Amino acid sequence: MRRTKALIAAALAAAVSASTTALADESGVSFWLPGLFGSLAAAPQQPGWSLASIYYHTSVSAGGNVARAREIQIGRIPANLTATLDARVNARADLGLLNATYVFATPVLGGQASVGLLGLYGKNTTSLDGSLTGTLTLPPPIGPIPVSRFDSITDSTIGFGDLIPQFSLRWNAGVHNYMTYITGDIPVGAYQSTRLANIGIGHGAIDAGGGYTYFNPTTGHEFSGVLGFTYNFENPDTNYQSGVDMHFDWGASQFLSKQVQVGLVGYLYQQLGCDSGTGDRVGCFRSRVAGIGPQVGFIFPVGDMQGYLNIKGYKEFAAENRPEGWNTWVTFAISPAPPPAAVPPRRITK
């Protein structure tokens, strides 16, 4: 059990209970960032303050409906234009995420409660290239006018993203661990509806779900899965409301020692409800993407605290109405160290 606490206290900092902006949802952009939960996501943590710093890099691209949705969003395809678009959108983002979490020592509903707040800062560069042909419908006596043009647009934004508050509860029963969480989006980040590249998403959201972790400290085997659902509020700038979506993050790892962890991570993101609102000109536009990749983690002391470094990457596939590519996470976390093992009293014999 002491070994369990030692591993969990550090490695769990990588499975930060939070979410943030990602690249159907409006223009293929969702509130949930797939891959945020990882190994040991449901295992208990040490009481007190912890801090996780994450560098996130993503490079994705898409054509077809996603490129058309982006053109509509930024006002390049007016409502009276019936057009065919042959274009591709490419996006590259480098974000720094900072998540502060406080874990309560007093049980809540028989479990361990924690609250946190995540913020982010970074750069998003997005480009769109392609040709458009169609017919612009004007009132009589002008009538329809043929339209043809080539677009080559590049936009870059540097700034702060939305704020993400979090609350979670965890329960432990030997090698079995359970958790539930609720989080949401406070849309205060850098966002303009007519801009191709944004850091914020422009609307509020509520996300909730639950997870399970199997962790056997004797064998070092671990598996975690977290299922969540997002309800998106309407974007007041575009009058567009993204549908309800589902996301499942998982991680499987083997502790080679008390300090080294290796394994696999993956996710599945699927929009369940259709997009809506008076600003929706692309229809239902459900999006989907999946990803899988390797991970490695290292546990080490940091003064009287405990440090954890985790590196993981995902290659995406099976995308629909959403960009796909690859992304990399580098997490450095500091959390309270587990209490030292009690030394049993020496038995005195004569």
pLDDT (tens digit per residue) in 286-314: 889 999 999 999 999 999 999 999 999 99
> Does some domain include residue 305?
yes
Domain extent for 42: 2-55+93-120+156-336
Residue 80 has pLDDT above 80, yes or no: no
> d(Cα 333, Cα 323) in Å, to the nearest integer?
29
**Burial class of residue 278, CB neighbours in 10 A (0-12, 13-18, 19+):** exposed
Token readout for 290 is: 């999946």
Domain of 320, CATH number, reads: 2.40.160.40
> Does some domain include residue 23?
yes
> Does some domain include residue 149?
no
> Does some domain include residue 84?
no
> Does some domain include residue 133?
no
- From residue 245, alpha-carbon distances to 25, 34, 169, 207, 211 in Å are 8, 12, 22, 9, 17
> Does some domain include residue 83?
no
Q: How far is CA 139 from the centre of its chain?
A: 46
342 confidence band (pLDDT: 50, 70, 90): very low
CB under 8 Å to 250, separation ≥6 — which residues? 223, 224, 225, 226, 265, 266, 267
What type of residue sits at position 255?
Answer: F
> Does some domain include residue 236?
yes
> d(Cα 207, Cα 13) in Å, to the nearest integer?
20
> d(Cα 225, Cα 265) in Å, to the nearest integer?
10
What type of residue sits at position 339?
Answer: P
> Does some domain include residue 115?
yes
- From residue 269, alpha-carbon distances to 58, 78, 112, 322 in Å are 16, 30, 28, 10
pLDDT tens-digit readout, 109-133: 999 999 999 999 999 998 887 776 6
75 confidence band (pLDDT: 50, 70, 90): low
The pTM of the full predicted model, rounded to 2 decimals, is 0.84
Please give the tally of structural domains in the chain.
1
**Burial class of residue 301, CB neighbours in 10 A (0-12, 13-18, 19+):** exposed
